[in-house]
């Protein structure tokens, strides 16, 4: 899953980025509103963490322009605890959720999981495809009740496909959504990860759509 993290305070941004990457997210960072606006308008993200107090262009303006430009990715805004009016303004501008500073990393992760799940049209916190179950809270994968051990990249590919069940996902899209911003990306390795998933999950239908990508077809 690919996140856009927008925070101008360097220490907090570094801490958040480390925590998000540790949780398995591919993180793209911005420290000002103008860069954030451009990234959100030109690239695809599964969710955005947006601080409102940004230099060059404030977060509320960035959010309003995204929504005016029909950008629909879920946005979680960060606000100061005493500025309750920022929460109201953020929700009215198109934010999907908010979190007040200071906060625990576990709560941020839980809220992001919920936003991404709802954006995919999924109600349950556990992703399911037939007898295949994936729990993002514990990163546990089971097939017919048996635990399946996956590498981190295999897990990320499977998680993304399960969030987009029935849709064709290109190798380029998978590459962008599983690798971190500064990682040397190679879309050819996606084929390797999919091949490994098919061996470890032999009853799970991961189809190859020739010339387009992959599709997870669930009963």
Contact 73, 40 (CB under 8 A): yes
Q: Which two tokens stand for residue 178?
A: 């599983």
Architecture of domain 2-119: 3-Layer(aba) Sandwich (3.40)
The confidence score (pLDDT) of residue 177 equals 87
Residue with tokens 């992959």: 214
Sheet arrangement for strand 140-143: 127-129, 132-135, 140-143, 146-147
The rounded distance, in Å, linking the Cα atoms of 193 and 188 is 9
The confidence score (pLDDT) of residue 185 equals 60
pLDDT more than 90, % of the chain: 75
Sketch the domain layout of the chain as residue ranges.
2-119, 127-216
Q: Domain 127-216 adopts which CATH fold? A: Arc Repressor Mutant, subunit A (1.10.10)
Exposure b/e, 107-123, CB count within 10 A at least 16 = b: ebbebbbbbbbeebebe
Q: Which two tokens stand for residue 188?
A: 């050819």
Helix H, strand E, coil C: the string for 133-195 is: EEECCCCEEEECCEECCCCHHHHHHHHHHHHCCCCCECHHHHHHHHCCCCCCCCCHHHHHHHH
Q: Is the pLDDT of residue 207 over 80?
A: yes
Q: Is the pLDDT of residue 182 over 70?
A: no
Residue with tokens 């934010």: 95
Mean pLDDT value of segment 39-64: 95
Q: What is the pLDDT of residues 139-172, one digit of tens each?
A: 999 999 999 999 999 999 999 999 999 999 999 8
Mean pLDDT value of segment 106-122: 92
What pLDDT band is residue 55 in, cutting at 50, 70 and 90? Answer: very high
């Amino acid at each position: 899953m690919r996140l856009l993290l927008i925070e101008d305070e360097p220490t907090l941004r570094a801490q958040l980025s480390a925590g998000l990457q540790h949780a398995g997210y591919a993180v793209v960072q911005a420290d000002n509103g103008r860069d954030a606006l451009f990234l959100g308008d030109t690239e695809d993200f599964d969710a955005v963490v947006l601080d409102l107090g940004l230099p060059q262009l404030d977060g509320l303006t960035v959010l309003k322009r995204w929504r005016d430009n029909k950008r629909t990715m879920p946005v979680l805004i960060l606000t100061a605890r005493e500025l309750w009016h920022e929460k109201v303004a953020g929700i009215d501008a198109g934010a999907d959720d908010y979190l007040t500073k200071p906060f625990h990393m576990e709560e941020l992760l839980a809220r992001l999981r919920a936003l991404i799940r709802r954006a995919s049209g999924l109600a349950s916190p556990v992703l399911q495809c037939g007898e295949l179950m994936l729990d993002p809270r514990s990163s546990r994968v089971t097939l017919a009740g048996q635990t399946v051990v996956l590498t981190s990249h295999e897990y990320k590919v499977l998680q993304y496909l399960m969030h987009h069940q029935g849709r064709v996902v290109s190798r380029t899209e998978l590459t962008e959504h599983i690798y971190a911003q500064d990682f040397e990306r190679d879309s050819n390795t996606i084929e390797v990860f999919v091949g490994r998933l098919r061996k470890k999950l032999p009853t799970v239908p991961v189809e190859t759509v020739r010339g387009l990508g992959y599709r997870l077809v669930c009963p």
